[in-house]
Amino acid sequence: MERTLCIIKPDGLDSGVVGKIITRIEEEGFTILAMKRARMSRAVAEHFYAVHKGRPFFDDLTAYMSSAPVVLIALERENAIAHWRKLIGATDPAEADEGTIRDLYGRSRGVNTVHGSDSPENGRIEVSEFFSEAELIQQR
Ligand code: CMP
């Protein structure tokens, strides 16, 4: 079964749409294996987004992600990676399909409300960066 890490970014908490996003997660048949609210340090954000180091947006991205609390959710579902990415929409909210989470709530490419993992392998790696195996609990 695939896993993806959902991060509800600071703007999602500021806008008060955490509940709405969790409702979408439940409606789409994901299992919430674990969930917590956290404040990332700059070092943790830099490590998490290390693949983007050297890109022009890296400093703004890591400053933003460590600027305020986020909600981290470990999700599991068949085809979780593609399904979650379809549900959240394109990186740039202006290009996101109608009704997707970034279309509804995103403000810019950097401030785009949610994160999703980009491959099954990275889904497992990203989930394990924030949750121990003991914290990941199956529904049944
Ligand atoms: P996320 O899914 O968290 O993974 C990488 C993040 O980098 C992405 O969401 C965007 O928020 C951010 N990002 C990607 N491209 C750009 C860009 N061109 N300008 C600003 N931020 C970007």
Atom of ligand 1 nearest to the CA of 111: 11
Q: Report the distance separating Cα 7 and Cα 26, nearest Å.
A: 15
Q: Report the distance separating Cα 50 and Cα 24, nearest Å.
A: 29
Q: Which residues are catalytic?
A: 115
In a domain, 27, yes or no: yes
pLDDT band at 13 (very low <50, low <70, confident <90, very high): very high
In a domain, 109, yes or no: yes
pLDDT band at 34 (very low <50, low <70, confident <90, very high): very high
CATH of the domain at 118: 3.30.70.141
Q: Are 74 and 32 in contact (CB under 8 A)?
A: yes
In this prediction, residue 33 carries a pLDDT of 98
Q: Are 46 and 53 in contact (CB under 8 A)?
A: yes
- The H-or-E segment that residue 71 falls in is strand 70-77
Percent pLDDT > 70 in the chain is 100
In a domain, 113, yes or no: yes
**Which domain, by its residues, includes 91?**
2-135
In this prediction, residue 52 carries a pLDDT of 97
In a domain, 117, yes or no: yes
Looking at ligand 1, which residue's alpha carbon is closest to its atom 3?
115
In a domain, 88, yes or no: yes
The predicted model gives 108-128 an average pLDDT of 98
The predicted model gives 39-67 an average pLDDT of 98
In a domain, 15, yes or no: yes
In a domain, 90, yes or no: yes
Looking at ligand 1, which residue's alpha carbon is closest to its atom 20?
110
Looking at ligand 1, which residue's alpha carbon is closest to its atom 12?
110
In a domain, 140, yes or no: no
Residue 113 alpha carbon to ligand 1 centre in Å: 11
The total number of structural domains in the chain stands at 1
C-alpha of 5 from chain center: 6
